Amino acid sequence: MKRAQVTSGSRLQSVAEAVNQRQTSRTPVEFGLMYSAQDRSGEVLMGDGMVTDLSHHGLGIRGNTAVAPGMELTIFLYLPDGKDPLFVMEARVAWTSGRRFGVEILKMGLREGNRLRHFLCSNLTHSD
């Protein structure tokens, strides 16, 4: 079986190694999001896609716009609760593999953090 490789920082590592660096496990989900960032040249990039897994500290994304490890993103999560998008002020790309990538949440407002915690506690069950 072929092992998938991901780019993290300045070295290649397996997807399993990238996952094992997580502080908390993520729950598989599928709902939409939008993200934006500035690339090294200062150009604004915008993308959308699907959240593939989620925790209090990070999320997995399948997006339509390529990003690079270390890039800082602003994210709007379209939680399936029928409310306005949840705003993540600052997140950092931890790893990439094609159009899939993992993001660490760095900064979120108190209201948004509480909403995310409530969503995770009331709607999702962790399969550890």
Closest CA to 19 of 66, 58, 49: 58
Read off the pLDDT of residues 17-70 as tens digits, 9 standing for 90 and up: 554 454 566 778 899 999 999 988 999 999 999 999 999 999 999 999 999 999
Confidence at 122, pLDDT banded by 50, 70, 90: confident
Report the range of poorest mean pLDDT among 2-11, 24-33, 110-119: 2-11
Domain boundaries, the chain: 5-123
Whether the predicted pLDDT of 93 surpasses 50? yes
The pLDDT score that the predictor gives to residue 3 is: 42
The pLDDT score that the predictor gives to residue 34 is: 98
The pLDDT score that the predictor gives to residue 1 is: 39
The pLDDT score that the predictor gives to residue 23 is: 57
Per-residue CA distances from 54 to 24, 42, 73 (Å): 10, 29, 16
Class of domain 5-123: mainly beta
Mean pLDDT, the chain, as a whole number? 84
> d(Cα 73, Cα 88) in Å, to the nearest integer?
9
Q: Which residue has the higher pLDDT, 127 or 46?
A: 46
Question: Does residue 100 contact residue 62 with C-beta atoms inside 8 Å?
Answer: yes
Q: Which residue has the higher pLDDT, 50 or 125?
A: 50
> d(Cα 61, Cα 39) in Å, to the nearest integer?
18
Question: Does residue 52 contact residue 28 with C-beta atoms inside 8 Å?
Answer: yes
